[in-house]
Amino acid sequence: MIPPHLKPGNLILTFICLFSTLSFSSSGQARKTISFNQDWMFSKTNDTVQRQSDWKKVTLPHTWNATDMQLTKDFYEGEGQYKKQIVFGREYKDKRLFLRFEGVGQVAQVYVNQKLVGMHKGSYSAFCLDITYAVKIGEANTILVKVNNKARKDIIPVNHFLFGIYGGIYRPVSLLVTNKVNITTTDYAAPGIYISQKNVSAESAEVSVAVKVENIETSWQDISIKTELYDQAGKLVAAQTTPQKITTQGRQKFVQHFQLQKPHLWNGLKNPYLYKVITKLLRKHDVIDEVTQPLGLRKFEIIAGKGFFLNNQLYPMHGVCRHQDRWQFGNALSNAQHREDLDIIKEMGATTIRFAHYQQAEYLYSTCDTMGFVTWAEIPFVNTSTGEEADNAKQQLMELIKQNYNHPSLYVWGLHNEVYGKTPSDFPAVLTRELNDIAKTEDPDRYTVSVSGYGEMDRPTNLNADIQGMNRYYGWYEGKIGNLEDWAKEIETKYPAHKVILTEYGADGNIFQQQEQTDLKDAYDYTAAFYPESFETKTHEVQWPIIAKHPGIAASYIWNMFDFATPMWNRGGMPARNMKGLVTFDRQLKKDAFYWYKANWSKDPVLYLTERRVVERKHAVTPVVVYSNIGQPALFVNGKMIAVQPIQGTNSVQFIFKDVHLKKGKNSIKTLVKKDSKTFTDTIEWVLK
């Protein structure tokens, strides 16, 4: 039965759908990937304010929650529809046609000419649908996508609490065109070739390339599978061609093995060297399909009590977590915006990124490969559980692994974050073990991790993955800032053989709420309405030096790199906002804590005066704090140099000038360092009331 709103008489295509003809050059025989992001019409279908007939033109990516979810808990949650009308030219005859959606929030139903061709549950992973049999060649075709972002008990995440599930087709869509014999596109929307590596060293590396092939011709086909490996300069370094008979009965898998001598290793930010793998299907001498993927040869290893090793060398895991949304854009971001985030992270000196708490844009993982970040990917099994989400969690983990299998920057698959049970037999622990089995079966060469919000190792849901992650918010959700030291010592003493990561730490910092450091406490009440930025700064000033001296913490991740939307929250004078970011939601302002880490982690020169937004002062005698990684700074107050030398703070980049005297009214504070014939300065202004 056709739903009433899909009947031809109700479509009114002249007004609500754009019309276009899609064509491509038929001179080549390999697959085509065509952008499918233009000429869509959108309407909220169960909005009491906006009528169903109110359609507007949009370009993908698009979300309908670009502003409301960032301001209030009363955001639009429900269904929206996207339509476009298109003609497929005669050149599409005898081709296979697929629509590949990179991300739809969160349930999608896709119709072609009023026929349901497929659906998908889960906002953060890609899915690919075969539309060949529903398309009419040479005629107008109507594509309709029904999208719903209502939180459900059977789909992770099961609520909007830790972050909002933005509604819409918020990542790009592509039309894939292949021949009838093709490298599969529908194995969980993965690329269809899977590159694994073993025994990687500077002397040699073993590489295997598995390819999955489909044949929908009427008879078996004689083809050859040819895989070529190219170095970064474009030189062919290895190739293999194997003839195969491809039957019409089911998807088939073939594996080719390579032994590389003296490989050039992928070495993180120092040298993110990439090879290129091209796998082709040949019929006689014609290329009938082709897929290209990156290859970065590297060895990841965590040694308990010692740290993280890349290619047998100790590697600093200076980490941040990243959410994908942005002020007034929601999560419908451009590649340029994703790249800006990565550039800001790199500027600060971070070496590793936890993409939390869900699969993020394909562009991000690919760009991390080329930039050299070591990365972590995870599924949104977070915050709580209902007992109904197991199938969906397994589906999303399969999608995460298969779609990102070939990214050399990825070292770990995240299974859950802060999901708890009372016994090891409760649903969260059982499901985590099942997820771990899936990950280790699909990808035995990467680590798995689960994350607890408690500091004790012996909790019922812990120890079900290779790595135990722990989120520790001392001074914010419990205890005092310095209690992190006691926790780190206990972990190293009691669990010397365990692989442990500090997966989140930090505190909120509202840039519109400020307090002089003289008045700061060692703990704040997160339920209160006052979240001074200076307390966030103090938290990081105290806690990073603790982390740095404890090798039992194999890696650490600041929560968070950027402020982000939490629509169900109303905290710290800013509704719908988590303000633990080191950079504001709009990416326009870097908080003091950003420069603290830049001074500690980056090789770029840093000279920075803190408390630059604590402009109005009440203390006439006050300390002044300077971050400098280029030597001891001098300090000038109202043009006069302070004679007293600074003392060292919590580490070698923090300099504290004590008992600085301010005058009534405006005070100019300036710091200066001369290094290598260059003069570096920074200036702020304070006003003493």
Cβ(648)–Cβ(654) below 8 Å: yes
The residues, any chain, with a CB within 8 Å of residue 524's CB and separated by 6 or more, are 475, 476, 507, 530, 531, 532, 535
In this structure, the strands spanning 447-452 and 410-417 are: parallel
> Which alpha helices (H) appear in 231-382, and where do they start and end?
335-348, 362-371
Integer-rounded Cα Rg, in Å, for the chain is 27
Whole-angstrom distance, CA of residue 331 vs CA of residue 104:
11
∠ CA 466-468-474, nearest 5°, is 165
Cβ(386)–Cβ(419) below 8 Å: no
Measured over all CA atoms, what is the biggest interatomic distance in the chain, rounded to whole angstroms? 90
Cβ(29)–Cβ(23) below 8 Å: no
CB atoms within 10 A of CB 303: 12
Which among 152, 162, 51 has a CA at the least distance from the CA of 106? 152
What is the per-residue burial (b if ≥16 Cβ within 10 Å, else e) of 203-240? eebebebebbbbbeeeeebebebbbbbbbeeeeebbee
Whole-angstrom distance, CA of residue 502 vs CA of residue 181:
47
Whole-angstrom distance, CA of residue 528 vs CA of residue 26:
64
Q: Which helix (H) or strand (E) holds 320?
A: strand 318-322
- Is residue 418 part of the annotated active site? The answer reads yes
Catalytic, out of 77, 214, 399, 418: 418
∠ CA 54-56-61, nearest 5°, is 135
Catalytic residues: 418
